[in-house]
Structure 1
Amino acid sequence: MKKTLLLLILVALAFQGSAQITTFILVRHAEKASDGTDDPDLRSEGLERAGKFAALFKNTSVDAVYSTRYKRTRNTVAPLAQQKGLEVQVYDAAKPETIDAIISKYTGGTVVIGGHSNTIPQIANLLTGKDEYKTFPDTDYGNILIVTVLERGKAAKVTWLNY
């Protein structure tokens, strides 16, 4: 009986040890310019915020950096990507399967995703399997959601920062 119990405990510990946590750092783009287009760049305040974002994660290991195709999201995460020697990869926020592909590719790693006031909460909800996160106000640029995921939609925790 004792040997069976010990064996079950060892198997459970081995299985638990094989589960890998993937960390997502989700950031809404910084302050955007109003240039009359649907793809504005960042204002000077936004460029400053992008630099602060890079500084905040200076000592964090990052495996990949993603952004939507827009200048404002790309330029928010670009200083961090450059600091880490990574290319900013484009993802399609309208396709939730993209997040599954990122999880598969970077299981156990850390991924930064730049998005928008509506897409960052949507991604957090997808990762956690809950409908807790709502669209950020249009004037709120300082949100970072750090989501640690064992299994998408089931085993996830969120730390919400403001910078």
Structure 2
Amino acid sequence: MKKLLFVALFSVCYLACIAQSTQSTTFILVRHAEKGTDDPRNPSLNTEGKLRAEKLLNMLSDVEIGAIYSSPYKRTKETVTPLSAKLGLEIQEYNPNNNSFADEALKSYQGKTVLVSGHSNTVPGLANYILGEEKFKQLDESEYSKIFILTIDAIGKAKVMVLNY
């Protein structure tokens, strides 16, 4: 597990370095961590989800992140809150039903790394939007460990790597 985490962290750092040296932008897309059952419409993270949010913090705490985006739900915000607090970055809300926010993020954070916390049905769709092709399908409801790392010069001109964390 530690070896996999090291490989994932190395990959993220490597892609972020490439992005910064060529003015490419890196988007890191994650689905929110495991959700609880405290509220059927807007649940918080459960214990396992809080541990996954800490894993994300540990994995990305040394990456130079320029912005953190989250859909307006508790579970997505709680997934990136530990990292946001450590880096001193405000979590910016986006509409998960409208991928065009990525265009503005690309302009605003050119050459930087942008972290986005979304959902099983929106993260693959955002990855497809950035890639300019339908490559990924909706994640299974039980899938929380995927992380999509996209290095992008322009919408439709990107490379992607998918890891588990």
TM, length-normalised to structure 1: 0.86
How far residue 95 of structure 1 moved from its aligned partner, in angstroms, is 1.6
CA RMSD, Structure 1 to Structure 2 (Å): 1.2
How far 1:58 sits from its partner (Å)? 1.6
After TM superposition, what 4+ stretches of structure 1 lie above 6 angstroms from structure 2? Answer: none
Give 1:1-40 correspondences, 5 Å limit.
20-40=23-43
Once the two structures are overlaid, the 10-residue window that deviates more, 30-39 or 128-137, is: 30-39
In structure 1, C-alpha distance between the alignment counterparts of 2:116 and 2:47, rounded to whole Å: 21
Work out whether 1:141 is the aligned partner of 2:144: yes
Identity of aligned residues (%): 43
Structure 2 counterpart SS, 1:132: coil
For residue 119 of structure 1, the aligned residue among 118, 122, 139 is 122
Unaligned runs of 5+ in 1: 1-17
Task: Give 2:17's aligned residue.
Answer: none
Task: State the Cα deviation string for residues 40-83 of structure 1 (Å, max 9, x = none).
Answer: 00000000000000100121100000100000000001111111
- Answering whether residue 58 of structure 2 is matched by residue 55 of structure 1, we say yes
Q: How does 1:38-77 map to 2 (within 5 A)?
A: 38-77=41-80
Residues 103-156 of structure 1 show CA distances to partners (whole Å, capped at 9, x for unaligned) of: 111111100000000100001000001101110000010010000001111x20
Distance in 2 separating the partners of 1:101 and 1:88: 15
The count of aligned residue pairs is 145
1:20 positional shift: 2.1
Partner of residue 11, structure 1: none
CA distance in 1, matches of 2:76, 2:39: 17
- Distance in 1 between residues matched to 2:128 and 2:26, nearest whole Å: 14
Aligned match of 1:158 in 140, 150, 160?
Answer: 160
Q: Alignment partner of 1:161: what SS? A: strand
CA distance in 2, matches of 1:79, 1:159: 24
Per the alignment, residue 128 of structure 1 pairs with 131
With the length of structure 2 as denominator, give the TM-score of the two structures.
0.85
Please name the residue that 1:84 is paired with: 87
CA drift of 1:19 comes to 5.9
Distance in 2 of aligned mates of 1:36 and 1:19: 44
Counterpart AA for 1:161: L
* CA apart distance, 1:98: 1.1
Tell me by how many angstroms 1:96 deviates: 2.1
Q: Distance in 1 between matches of 2:120 and 2:80?
A: 15
